[in-house]
Structure 1
Amino acid sequence: MENTDIIYGVHAVTEALQSAKVNKLYIEENLRGKNVDHIKILAREKKVSLSWTPKAELNKMSENGVHQGVVARVAAFSYADLDEQLNQLKEKTNATLLILDELTDPHNLGSIARTADATGVDAIIIPKHRSVGITPVAVKASTGALQHVPVIRVTNLSQALTKLKAANFWIFGTDMDGTPYDQWNTNGNVALIIGNEGKGIALNLKKQVDEMITIPMVGHVQSLNASVAASVLMYEVFRNRSK
């Protein structure tokens, strides 16, 4: 990965400024409004240089993403380390980890991170290969949540699950046949696997799952979008623990 990344959009850039992660700020020339004023104040406070930039140049920098007239150059995304995260969570008895098995859509990743932040998920685990990473599109879709939820990238998900089991995590998967999610016992440390958008959870990972969870459906479509399914299940864990 290069030493810098591009992020864009008002929320993502604002969060990055507040986290002191912006190296350079670009705002569309002649753009005005409360959001711009707020971003300018943050940039001044954090001593970030600002460049008034033509819209065409911002389109190019964001690869025609919906940048809302605001683009920033930030330090390359720093992935968390699995062993360090498990060490931090070892005293916790109700930790929640989300494992994304080869998701390919950055919008799904960003949306999932947004809900993970809202429901207190401790970290997200993704594989290094055949999977979307933290891209500008994912950061934009997360509306800044990826500044707050640790993302762990591992070479081998199966080995990661073995470590999680050794750290007293229960491993759950999502499947058409399983325990209905409203009967799911979410006590203890929970690690939930969300499968690939088309193939679902890989067979080798299914063998390591302690219990499959299903979301009942009565319509003609037999599967939910990955980010929607993840959100339903994250909120079920959150609901149970908020009682």
Structure 2
Amino acid sequence: MSRRQPPRRGGRPAGGRRSGPPRSRGAGRTGQVRSGGSSRRSSGSGDLGGKQIEGRQAVRELLLAQRRRVHEIWISGELEGDDGVADIVAIAAANRVPINYVARSTLESAARSEAPQGVLAHAGALPAVDFDHCVAPRPGKAPFIVAVDGVTDPGNLGAIVRSCDGAGVDAIVLPRHRAVHVTPTVAKASAGAIEYVPITVVSGLPNALKRMRDAGIWVIGFDDAADRQLFDIGDLATEGVCLVVGAEGAGLSRLVRERCDMIVSIPMLGRVSSLNVSAATALATYEIARYRRPSS
């Protein structure tokens, strides 16, 4: 399909490598893990944070991914010998990661998420990847990107990352300012998906969207009041596409909305006017994935 310029429709903004077991509990659902090779690091983007990881699933995936160094793991002393953390202990031992059993009060005082589940890890920072790598064409696969505009709630970002992993998104683009990056709550809410989905940080999202358009990627924003619906994009879903989601309430910023090729809405059939941004992202990414399913 030749690239065209559909009308922009405005409105109210809305919103490594281990050869044998143990395996990630999510491996059967998400397929092969995307590696985090050093060639993809961005000299300009730097690190995303994520030096402290909390929660059993997030720590488990941190160990399994082997994308970055894990310095030590803290486990609440009352969980020593508990089956619920046995696989974490086994994976850590196999990778020579020290485990320290500490008092529950000590662990909870150090935690920065609401419920660390008695497990906390200290690791090297999660590396951001290069923006050019994210938008580069891949043989046999059109780019599938999600850009996040002004989302500051860590629970929402974590859920977005988890959905992106499940739907096969190639990369997530975050603005450097006025946005949350990787915190313990983000890592926990993502259930460890931050270890697998490449994330890049850009100094200006509008300029990044322009560069994607110049690279032949369709940029599709979401707005409650848009005339077009997500389900109307059709075959565009099989081309290079970037979905742009905005913070709840504020929605897409003006400059970001102006850089979109089209603005679509998610139809709401009940009385509530919109979805949570992470729920909207889940629905939108899986709609793209549905179109991209291999024909049987």
1:30-70 Cα deviation digits (max 9, x unpaired): 31422321111111111001100111111111135211111
Q: Which has the higher strand share?
A: 1
Q: Flag structure 1 segments of 5+ consecutive residues without an equivalent.
A: none
Determine the structure 2 residue equivalent to 1:215: 266
SS of the residue corresponding to residue 177 of structure 1 reads: coil
Deviation at residue 159 of structure 1 after TM alignment: 1.0
**RMSD of the TM alignment (CA)?**
1.7
Deviation at residue 80 of structure 1 after TM alignment: 1.1
Inter-partner Cα distance in structure 2 for 1:147 and 1:183: 33
Determine the structure 1 residue equivalent to 2:33: none
Q: What TM-score, normalized to structure 1? A: 0.94
Q: What is the one-letter code of the residue matched to 1:56?
A: S
Determine the structure 1 residue equivalent to 2:131: 82
Q: Report the CA distance shift for 1:240/1:64 in structure 2 as closer, same or farther (over 3 A).
A: closer
Deviation at residue 83 of structure 1 after TM alignment: 1.4
SS of the residue corresponding to residue 101 of structure 2 reads: strand
| Residue number among 39, 62, 74 corresponding to 1:16 in the alignment | 62
**Does 1:100 pair with 2:144?**
no
The 5-angstrom pairing of residues 117-128 of structure 1 reads: 117-128=165-176
Inter-partner Cα distance in structure 2 for 1:115 and 1:64: 20
**Does 1:191 pair with 2:191?**
no
Inter-partner Cα distance in structure 2 for 1:133 and 1:3: 7
Deviation at residue 94 of structure 1 after TM alignment: 2.2
**Does 1:27 pair with 2:78?**
no
| Residue number among 86, 99, 110 corresponding to 1:50 in the alignment | 99
Q: 2:152 touches 2:178 (CA, 8 Å); kept in 1?
A: yes
Q: 2:72 touches 2:123 (CA, 8 Å); kept in 1?
A: yes
Q: 1:8 touches 1:140 (CA, 8 Å); kept in 2?
A: yes
Identity of aligned residues (%): 32
Inter-partner Cα distance in structure 2 for 1:3 and 1:212: 32
SS of the residue corresponding to residue 226 of structure 2 reads: strand
Q: What is the one-letter code of the residue matched to 1:111?
A: A
| Residue number among 182, 187, 196 corresponding to 1:139 in the alignment | 187
Q: What is the one-letter code of the residue matched to 1:168?
A: G
Determine the structure 2 residue equivalent to 1:161: 209
Aligned length: 242
Q: What TM-score, normalized to structure 2? A: 0.78
**Does 1:179 pair with 2:228?**
yes
